[in-house]
Amino acid sequence: AGWHGFQSFLQYWEPAVGLPALHDYDKNLEINFVERSFRSGVRSVFNFDHTVVAVHADASRWLLPYVTNLDTGCQWVSQWRFSSLANALFPEHILLSHNITVQNLGHSSYSKYGCLELMQNVTLELQAAVAPAAASCFQSPRATAVWLDGRVMRSTYLPWSAPLRRSEASPSRQNYSNIDITRIRPCDSDPTVQALNTHAADEFP
């Protein structure tokens, strides 16, 4: 399908954030994994890579620009903030298409000092902005695997919510720019949140 297919996916679904599949994450992106998060070659995902990210103009109010002054010690922190906000604000509309796969052939050298601590600071700041019942929608970063759906999974590209086209959302949620961060729905009952809040599996090497 290539990039034209990806463009068609964006035009049809109108996600708040649209993503291609990422090579080497096949285990987390299996077609039959957690059916509620998968529909017509599209799935919602939690904690995603930023190699290629398409942001809806209406959602950009919340997500862009990247807050790069957070990246002084670790250059993943602004990405973590973006992903955390996106997953909490637009759970049904962070969508990945299986019609195109990208591959990152190599990382350049950049700062990765104290990443977990710096990312956790962002998580705490975001949790403080919402009602206590919704704090679990902003998960702490981790370098460990999780046990979900009977298997050990990396803590990236996990299933999140039932994917929706923007036109299928309730009228109050169709305009991404009008989302109210203080009224985020609680996430405690979400299987992925429950797995992330359970003791993690052994760390990946």
| Residue that wins the pLDDT comparison between 155 and 180 | 180
Give the pLDDT of residue 33: 46
In Å, how far are 38, 55, 115, 143, 204 from 94, measured between CA atoms? Answer: 12, 10, 24, 22, 26
Global pTM reads: 0.87
In Å, how far are 8, 62, 75, 110 from 113, measured between CA atoms? Answer: 39, 26, 9, 9
Strand 42-46 vs strand 94-102: parallel, antiparallel, or unpaired? antiparallel
76-90 per-position pLDDT tens digit: 999 999 999 999 999
Helix (H) or strand (E) holding 7: helix 2-13
Q: For residue 97, how many other CB atoms are within 10 A of its CB? A: 24
With a CB cutoff of 8 Å and minimum separation 6, the contacts of 165 are 12, 13, 14
| Residue that wins the pLDDT comparison between 188 and 29 | 188
The pLDDT mean for the chain works out to: 85
Residue 105 CA, distance from chain mean position: 22
Say if CB 177 and CB 61 are below 8 A apart. yes
Query: Does position 185 have pLDDT exceeding 90, yes or no?
Result: no
32-78 per-position pLDDT tens digit: 444 445 567 888 999 899 999 999 999 999 999 999 999 999 999 99
Strand 94-102 vs strand 17-22: parallel, antiparallel, or unpaired? parallel
